[in-house]
Amino acid sequence: MATASQIQLRITGMHCAGCVGRVEQALRGVSGVREVSVQLMTESAAVTAESASDLRPELLKAVRAAGYDAEVTSGADPFAALGADDSAHREQLRRGRQALIQAIGLVLPILAVDHFRHDLWGHDPASQVSALLLELILLVMLALSPAGAPILVSGLRAIVFRTANMDLLITMGFTVALASSIYGTFIARDDSFVHIHAAAMILGLVCVGRYLETGARGRASAAMSALARRAPKTALVRRDGQAVSIPVARLQPGDVVVVPPHSGIPADGEIVDGSAAIDESLMTGEPMPVTRSVGDRVLGGTLVVEGRIDIRVTATGAQAALGRIAQLVAKAQSGKTAMQRLADRVAAVFTPIVIIAAALTFAAWLAVYGRGALSDAARAAIAVLVVACPCALGLATPVVVMVASGAAALRGILVRDAAMLEAMSRVDTVVWDKTGTITAGTPSVQRVVTFGTLTETDVLQLAASAQLLSPHPLAKAIVAHARRMGLSPAAPAHFESVPGAGVVAGFSRSEGGAPADILVGSEKLLASRGVTVPESGEPVAQTHAWVAANGAVVARIELTDTIRPSARDAVRRLSALGMRSEMLTGDHAAAAHGIAEAAGIDTLHAGMDPAGKVARIERLKRGGCFVAMVGDGVNDAAALAAADVGIAFATGADVAGEAAGINLIGSTPHLVADAAELAQRSVRIIRQNLFWAFIYNVLMIPLAAVGRLPPAVAAGAMMISSLTVVLNALRLKGSGRSSNTEK
Concatenate the DSSP letters of all residues of 481-492 into one string. Answer: HHHHTT------
Check whether 739 has a pLDDT greater than 70. Answer: no
What CATH number corresponds to the domain at position 579? 3.40.50.1000
Residue 118 contacts residue 153 (beta carbons within 8 Å): no
Residues 540, 567 within the same domain: no
Q: Are residues 97 and 212 in the same domain?
A: yes
Looking at 536, 560, 584, the residue that finishes a domain is: 560
pLDDT 10s digits, 65-79: 888 888 887 555 555
Query: What was the pLDDT predicted at 377?
Result: 94
Q: Which CATH number do you get for residue 463?
A: 3.40.1110.10
Burial 719-736 (b: 16+ CB within 10 A, else e): bbbbbbbbbbbbebbebb
Both 520 and 631 in one domain: the answer is no
| Residue bearing the bigger pLDDT, 500 or 694 | 694
CATH for 262: 2.70.150.10
675 and 567 inside one domain: yes
Task: Specify the amino acid at residue 608.
Answer: M
Q: Tell me which of 190 and 459 has the higher pLDDT.
A: 459
pLDDT at 434: 87
**156 inside domain:** yes
Q: Which amino acid is at 317?
A: G
Please determine, for residue 200, whether its predicted confidence score (pLDDT) is greater than 70: yes
- How does 601-620 read in b/e, with b if 16+ C-beta sit within 10 Å? beebbbbbbbeebbebbeeb
pLDDT of residue 83: 45
Answer yes or no: is pLDDT of 667 > 80.
no
Position 327 scores a pLDDT of 73
Kindly report the pTM of this predicted structure.
0.76
* Residue of 77, 433, 632, 674 with catalytic role: 433
Distance (Å, whole) CA 720 – CA 702: 18
- The answer to whether 660 and 416 have CB atoms below 8 angstroms apart is yes
SS3 164: coil
- Residue 541: pLDDT over 70: no
| Three-state secondary structure readout of 315-360 | ECHHHCHHHHHHHHHHHHHHCCCHHHHHHHHHHHHHHHHHHHHHHH
Backbone torsion region of residue 83, taken as left when φ is above 0, otherwise alpha when ψ lies between -120 and 50, otherwise beta? left
Provide the 8-state DSSP code for 534.
P
Verify whether residue 433 is a known catalytic residue: yes
Asked, for residue 587, whether it belongs to a domain, the answer is yes
Residue 741 within any structural domain of the chain: no
Q: Is residue 323 part of a domain?
A: no
Q: Is residue 730 part of a domain?
A: no
- Summarised one tens digit per residue, pLDDT across range 320-373 is 877 777 777 777 766 677 777 777 778 778 888 999 999 999 999 999 999 889
Strand partners of residue 663? 414, 648
Close Cβ partners of 506 (under 8 Å, ≥ 6 residues apart): 492, 493, 494, 495, 516, 517, 518
Q: Which of 544, 560, 576 is the last residue of a domain?
A: 560
Q: What is the pLDDT of residues 135-163, one digit of tens each?
A: 999 999 999 998 999 989 888 888 887 77
Question: What pLDDT was estimated at residue 85?
Answer: 55
Q: Which of 166-170, 276-280, 560-564, 697-701 has the highest mean pLDDT?
A: 697-701
pLDDT at 119: 73
- Looking at the chain, the whole-number percentage of residues with pLDDT higher than 90 is 35
Confidence of residue 284 (pLDDT cuts 50, 70, 90): low
Is residue 123 a part of any domain in this protein?
A: yes
Please indicate, yes or no, whether residues 310 and 359 belong to a single structural domain of this protein.
no
pLDDT of residue 459 exceeding 90: yes
What would the mean pLDDT of 106-135 be, rounded to a whole number?
A: 83
Q: Examine the domain organization and report whether 347 and 393 are in the same domain.
A: yes
pLDDT in the model for residue 654 = 57
- CA distances for 565 relative to 152, 243, 490, 599, angstroms: 60, 45, 36, 9
Using 50, 70 and 90 to split pLDDT, how confident is the model at 511? very low
- Residue 180's H or E segment, with its range, is helix 166-182
Phi then psi dihedrals of residue 665, to 5 deg: -90, 120
Share of the chain above pLDDT 70, in %: 89
Judge whether 251 lies within some domain. Answer: yes
pLDDT at 157: 84
CATH code of 49's domain: 3.30.70.100
For residues 268 and 415, membership in a common domain is answered with no
Q: Helix, strand, or coil here: 595?
A: helix
Residue 445: C-alpha distances to residues 559, 594, 671 (Å): 4, 18, 29
The answer, yes or no, to whether residue 741 has pLDDT greater than 70, is no
Which residue, of 560, 580, 599, is where some domain finishes?
A: 560
| Mean pLDDT of the 208-234 span | 73
Residues 213 and 353 occupy one common structural domain: yes
Q: Residue 536: how many CB atoms within 10 A of its CB?
A: 10
Q: Which residues contact 511 (CB under 8 A, 6 or more apart)?
A: none
Report the alpha-carbon distance of residue 8 to residue 119 in Å, rounded: 59
Per the domain annotation, does 227 fall within a domain? no
* Number of independent structural domains in the chain: 5
**The pLDDT value given to residue 321:** 79
Cross-strand partners of 594: none
Is residue 546's pLDDT more than 90?
Answer: yes
Average pLDDT estimate for 253-264:
92
Cα 443 from Cα 338, distance rounded (Å): 43
Say whether both 265 and 336 belong to one domain.
Answer: no
Residues 110 and 201 in one domain: yes
Quote the pLDDT of residue 60. Answer: 92
CA distances from 230 to 224, 257, 277, 289, 472 (A): 10, 17, 17, 16, 32
- Please give, one letter per residue, the 3-state secondary structure of 384-411: HHHHCCHHHHHHCCHHHHHHHHHHHHHC
Of 322, 312, 298, 300, the C-alpha closest to 252 is 312
What pLDDT is stored for residue 293 in this prediction? 92
Pairing of strands 645-650, 662-665: parallel
Q: Are residues 475 and 498 in the same domain?
A: yes
Residues 206 and 349 occupy one common structural domain: yes
Q: Which pLDDT score, from 0 to 100, does residue 645 have?
A: 93
pLDDT band for 84, please (50, 70, 90 cuts): very low
Q: Which domain holds residue 712?
A: 87-222+331-397+707-721
Q: Are 491 and 465 in contact (CB under 8 A)?
A: yes
Lowest-pLDDT range of 175-184, 239-248, 628-637: 628-637
Helix axes 166-182, 338-369, angle to 10 degrees: 20
